[in-house]
Amino acid sequence: MIYINDNLKFIKEDIENILSMQGRNKDSVNIIAVTKTIDIESIQKAIELGVRDIGENRVQELMEKMNVFKKNANYHMIGHLQTNKVKYIIDKVSLVHSLDRISLAKEMDKQAKQKDIIVDALIQVNVAEEESKFGLSVKEVIPFIEEVLNFQNINIKGLMTIAPFTNDEKLLRDIFRKMYNLKQNINDKNYENVDLEYLSMGMTNDYRIAIEEGSNMVRIGTGIFGKRNY
Ligand SMILES: *Cc1c(COP(=O)(O)O)cnc(C)c1O
């Protein structure tokens, strides 16, 4: 498990280097360690090494890990969220990255009201409009935000995207740039109570490009824990 230490060190230094070239503060990117399929000992090790934010894409697995690590981590729901499972996690997650439809917003708002909390969420955008992925198209995002503004117990904190799995740097850059511009456009509208702070984009394969294009939240699994065994 020594490799987790090395991997984390490498990624942190790599990110700091990119940020210093951009003249950005060295801690201006939040690293979320994606722990899906990863065993408890490895995650424990990562937490001992300073990891605070962990991301899971399934409610069941997220709940198992919350049960073990409790207040020792902040939890991020990064995968598709079924409406009927909202109630299990709504008051335990720091951030839901995958708000992508009104029916989900409605249920999140309802559950948050019942628990008397405000839930922070990112809107998932499917920039490349891939069939296999969830998320709104770029042009759907602003009308969606205008609708979600009516839900008082949801606080929209930013945007999230999962880029296509490709080595086509130009394509990736283009996608991340569209996300950055979309975030700026929304903030320029000065909606009351909407000040998008986070751009959750960049995974092991593409976090460098994402950060170069303005990401401030990366979700890294393989780069920290190694290849997943499904
Ligand atoms: C699995 C996953 C990641 C991490 O992917 P890696 O390529 O292992 O870094 C990031 N985001 C989401 C939504 C994921 O499901």
Burial class (CB in 10 A: 0-12, 13-18, 19+), 87: middle
Two structure tokens written together for 104? 């989900």
Contact 66, 87 (CB under 8 A): no
Q: Tell which atom from ligand 1 comes closest to the C-alpha of 160.
A: 13
Q: Tell which atom from ligand 1 comes closest to the C-alpha of 204.
A: 9
Report how far ligand 1's centroid is from the alpha carbon of 79 (Å).
9
Please provide residue 93's backbone torsions phi and psi, each rounded to the nearest 5 degrees. -95, 150
Two structure tokens written together for 180? 């950055």
Residues lining ligand 1, CB < 6 A?
A: 34, 36, 57, 78-79, 162, 203-205, 219-223
Query: Which domains does the chain show, CATH number per domain?
Result: 2-221 (3.20.20.10)
Q: What is the pLDDT along the chain (230 residues), one digit of tens a residue?
A: 669 999 999 999 999 999 999 999 999 999 999 999 999 999 999 999 999 999 999 999 999 999 999 999 999 999 999 999 999 999 999 999 999 999 999 999 999 999 999 999 999 999 999 999 999 999 999 999 999 999 999 999 999 999 999 999 999 999 999 999 999 999 999 998 899 999 999 999 999 999 999 999 999 999 999 999 87
Q: In Å, how far are 11, 46, 47, 55, 68 from 96, measured between CA atoms?
A: 24, 22, 21, 10, 20
Report how far ligand 1's centroid is from the alpha carbon of 38 (Å).
12
Name the amino acid, one letter, at 112.
A
Any bridge partners for residue 32, and if so which? 219
Report how far ligand 1's centroid is from the alpha carbon of 115 (Å).
30
Q: Tell which atom from ligand 1 comes closest to the C-alpha of 32.
A: 10
For the full predicted model, state whether its pTM sits above 0.75.
Answer: yes
